[in-house]
Chains A and B, each alone.
Chain A
Amino acid sequence: MPGSIPEFDITSTLIPARVERGSGRRIGSPRILRTDAGRIGVVLTFVLFATALLAGWIAPAHPFASVAPPLRPPTLGHPMGTDDLGRDVFSGVVYGARTSLFLALIVCLLSGSIGVAVGSIAAWQGRGTDDALMRITEFVQVVPRFFLAVVVVALFGPGLDRVILLLGLTSWPWIARVVRAEVLSLKQREFIEAARSLGAGPVRVLLREVLPNALPPALVVLSLSAASVILIEAGLSFLGLGDPDVVSLGYLANNAQRFLRVAWWMAAFPGAAIALTVLGLNLLGDGLNDALNPRGGR
């Protein structure tokens, strides 16, 4: 919203960074693994990536193939039961996780690039450019992403591509604000002055000196943003607006709604998978935050 409220860093309030305790001084272990949050986050995110990459090997069946009698509770052969068409829910969850991760990655790539570009240009140029870019940022931040996606999918027809494009084009303001704040403070630092006095041009200073230092906080925001993007897509698919050709976790949850009384497993497992995915990404952001600024917060 047109910024009258003093800016505050949402990640540091959202995430209670924990001061490392004595055991944190193990030599050789990456910093992110020194907190419980970081460790769990890394493990969950790793499992998610592995599941997505190896979906073809892990899933016993194609997610759209009818392989068993319909509406069977979990058994050894079908650990998450089967749905109304006799499809294996476990396979659906595995492929659904792949869809969620793919979506989150591309959206983050897109929104990350826009956010970093807008934030650093605004801070670097200052004055009019800064004002104009920040007004745009505030506007995009006000637009309710979820409902915009609902309207666009309803009018333009379902498809993973347009959901990705839409979320990518609307999820960058948060990143832009963090990068802008970071670049603004870096601009004043001595090493930037030093680079300038050595004769480096503004583009070179921005790309080689400022941005590498401004990116770590953006990474924290990006992992949190990935989590929220996954939740939004799940909500869209839950309303029946998902891509009908791609299995997603929200699609499974949407299908489960009609069979809630007879097949709890159809609702329980896909939802739990969404929650674990989002939890993993949030904890990863948590751990990154601790690792990148160990003395911030408490």
Chain B
Amino acid sequence: MPPRYLLRRLAQVLPTVAGLLVLNFCIIHLAPGDPVIALGGEHGDAAYYAFLRTRFGLDRPLPEQLLTYAANVLRGDLGTSFVHGRSVAHVIAERIPATLLLVFSALALSSAIGVGLGVLAARHRRRPTDTAVNVAALLAYATPPFWLGQIALLVLTVGTGLFPVQGMTDAREQRAGLVHLLDVLHHLALPAFVLAVSELALTTRLVRTGLLEAFDSDYVRAARAKGLPETSVVRHALRNVMLPVITVIGSRAGMFLSGAVLVEVVFAWPGLGRLLLSSLLSRDYPVLLGMFLGISLAVVLANLITDLVYARLDPRIRYH
């Protein structure tokens, strides 16, 4: 990948980040009541509010306030959670690993199953298997993730007892080592699968459409004509088909994270979703604003990584 492309792409991120900061600033100032409430919550005392006012320069003119706010945020200072009594950045950071574990497991699951189903459908074009996969994909795409979670809980947990009800580990006994890992995986399986299902649909359809297009192309016809086995032909075509799949998966980072948050709430998974819900209930505004900013930045980062991966994979793209 040419370094010039990398630099240019990084430069494009800066205005986006600046825009997100301005957006957050606007939300804080447009919210009804004093902006100090949005920064410090409703239950602070006068001294705390006065402290916030000076730290965020709320007695200064608006442009200066914006700069102070941006400087604070860029230093990682997102304010203090009045519920947890600690810095917002810390409160959020300690929830990230659980959410990342869930998100990446789901991503791996949805990619693996999605590509598999897409290949299956394309190879059985217009036969019952194809129709079945298409219908399943459409249904999966239409199902709200939290509802799928509720139904999975009802049927697989309450009904059969195969999976643990909620949480990340068994609270009844402390475990360590391999047993602990298996325990976490056991708790992870259902939420990860539920989250994977809605994304799986898109991957399946993209792979199917892409493969069908590829099957009509000259290079596949040539591969078949020289007698390559069908599996090699599919693998060959799949390399080209995966490019748009990567773009679409990357561009859906925001949707994926919102799905993760809802699934976490259903399964009481101790990640950002639980934090979001508890902050909503306790009106912990600094944490909510910090999470919005953090998640927006994560989406920008996901898009950046997608672009870089894309540029690395596709030798045709040189971006000058």
Contact of B32 with A156 in the complex, beta carbons under 8 Å: yes
Determine, out of B49-57, B149-157, B168-176, B184-192, the stretch whose residues face the partner at the interface.
B149-157
Residues in B neighbouring A6, C-beta threshold 8 A: 317
Q: Please tell me which one of the listed residues A10, A13, A146, A279 contacts residue B254 in the complex, with CB atoms under 8 A apart.
A: A146
CA distance A231 to B147 in the complex (A): 11
CA distance A242 to B295 in the complex (A): 22
Contact of A14 with B154 in the complex, beta carbons under 8 Å: no
CA distance A16 to B135 in the complex (A): 11
Q: Please tell me which one of the listed residues B144, B205, B206, B296 contacts residue A142 in the complex, with CB atoms under 8 A apart.
A: B296
**Which A residue's beta carbon lies closest to that of B294?**
A147
For chain A, the bracket of interface size reads 35 or more
Residues in B neighbouring A240, C-beta threshold 8 A: 277, 280-281
Contact of A154 with B280 in the complex, beta carbons under 8 Å: yes
Could you give, for residues 65-83 of chain B, a 1 whenever the CB lies within 8 Å of some chain A CB and a 0 otherwise?
0000000000000000000
Contact of A154 with B288 in the complex, beta carbons under 8 Å: yes
Q: Please tell me which one of the listed residues B138, B141, B150, B280 contacts residue A257 in the complex, with CB atoms under 8 A apart.
A: B150
CA distance A297 to B125 in the complex (A): 13
Determine, out of B86-94, B208-216, B231-239, the stretch whose residues face the partner at the interface.
B208-216
Contact of B154 with A264 in the complex, beta carbons under 8 Å: yes
**Which B residue's beta carbon lies closest to that of A152?**
B27
Asked whether any CB of chain B lies closer than 8 Å to the CB of A143, the reply is yes
**Most chain B beta-carbon neighbours within 10 Å: one of A8, A13, A148, A260:** A13
CA distance A142 to B255 in the complex (A): 11
CA distance A215 to B255 in the complex (A): 26
**Most chain B beta-carbon neighbours within 10 Å: one of A4, A157, A272:** A4
Could you give, for residues 204-228 of chain B, a 1 whenever the CB lies within 8 Å of some chain A CB and a 0 otherwise?
0110111011000000000000000
CA distance A156 to B143 in the complex (A): 29
Residues in A neighbouring B12, C-beta threshold 8 A: 1-2, 4
Asked whether any CB of chain A lies closer than 8 Å to the CB of B20, the reply is yes
Contact of B210 with A13 in the complex, beta carbons under 8 Å: yes
Asked whether any CB of chain B lies closer than 8 Å to the CB of A227, the reply is yes
Contact of A253 with B150 in the complex, beta carbons under 8 Å: yes
Least distance between A277 CB and chain B CB atoms (Å): 8
CA distance A152 to B26 in the complex (A): 11
CA distance A231 to B252 in the complex (A): 14
Contact of B143 with A275 in the complex, beta carbons under 8 Å: yes
Contact of A146 with B27 in the complex, beta carbons under 8 Å: no
CA distance A8 to B317 in the complex (A): 14
CA distance A115 to B187 in the complex (A): 43
**Which B residue's beta carbon lies closest to that of A283?**
B138
Which residues of A, 282-298, contact B by the 8 Å Cβ criterion?
282-283, 297-298
Asked whether any CB of chain B lies closer than 8 Å to the CB of A60, the reply is no
CA distance A157 to B30 in the complex (A): 12
Least distance between B209 CB and chain A CB atoms (Å): 5
Could you give, for residues 235-262 of chain B, a 1 whenever the CB lies within 8 Å of some chain A CB and a 0 otherwise?
0000000001001100100110110011
Residues in A neighbouring B113, C-beta threshold 8 A: none
Could you give, for residues 220-232 of chain A, a 1 whenever the CB lies within 8 Å of some chain B CB and a 0 otherwise?
0000000110011
Which residues of B, 265-320, contact A by the 8 Å Cβ criterion?
265-266, 276-277, 280-281, 283, 285, 288-289, 291-292, 295-296, 299-300, 303-304, 306-307, 310-311, 317, 319
CA distance A22 to B303 in the complex (A): 44
CA distance A172 to B19 in the complex (A): 18
> Do A144 and B254 form a contact, CB below 8 Å, given A1-B304, A239-B265, A271-B144?
yes
Residues in A neighbouring B300, C-beta threshold 8 A: 1, 142
**Which B residue's beta carbon lies closest to that of A153?**
B280
> Do A147 and B13 form a contact, CB below 8 Å, given A1-B304, A260-B150, A271-B150?
no
Contact of B303 with A260 in the complex, beta carbons under 8 Å: no
Least distance between B253 CB and chain A CB atoms (Å): 8
Q: Please tell me which one of the listed residues A135, A139, A257 contacts residue B266 in the complex, with CB atoms under 8 A apart.
A: A257
Asked whether any CB of chain B lies closer than 8 Å to the CB of A274, the reply is yes
For chain B, the bracket of interface size reads 35 or more
Least distance between A42 CB and chain B CB atoms (Å): 15
Asked whether any CB of chain A lies closer than 8 Å to the CB of B117, the reply is no
Residues in A neighbouring B291, C-beta threshold 8 A: 147
Residues in A neighbouring B151, C-beta threshold 8 A: 267-268, 271
Residues in A neighbouring B265, C-beta threshold 8 A: 238-239, 257
Contact of B202 with A145 in the complex, beta carbons under 8 Å: no
**Which B residue's beta carbon lies closest to that of A139?**
B19
Asked whether any CB of chain B lies closer than 8 Å to the CB of A218, the reply is no
Residues in A neighbouring B141, C-beta threshold 8 A: 278, 282
Please list 24 pairs of residues, one from A and one from B, whose beta carbons are closer than 8 Å in the complex, sorted by A's number.
A1-B251, A1-B303, A1-B307, A4-B8, A14-B202, A142-B299, A142-B303, A143-B296, A145-B254, A146-B254, A146-B255, A147-B292, A150-B288, A157-B32, A235-B146, A235-B262, A238-B146, A240-B281, A274-B143, A275-B143, A282-B141, A282-B142, A283-B138, A298-B212
Binding site for B on A (CB under 8 A): 1-2, 4-6, 8, 10, 12-16, 135, 138-139, 142-148, 150-152, 154-157, 227-228, 231-232, 234-235, 238-241, 250, 253, 256-257, 260-261, 264, 267-268, 270-272, 274-276, 278-279, 282-283, 297-298
Binding site for A on B (CB under 8 A): 5, 8-9, 12-13, 15-16, 19-20, 23, 27, 30-32, 38, 134, 138-139, 141-148, 150-151, 153-154, 158, 202, 205-206, 208-210, 212-213, 244, 247-248, 251, 254-255, 257-258, 261-262, 265-266, 276-277, 280-281, 283, 285, 288-289, 291-292, 295-296, 299-300, 303-304, 306-307, 310-311, 317, 319
Given A144-B292, A151-B27, A282-B138, 4 additional A-B pairs, CB 8 A: A15-B205, A144-B257, A267-B147, A271-B146
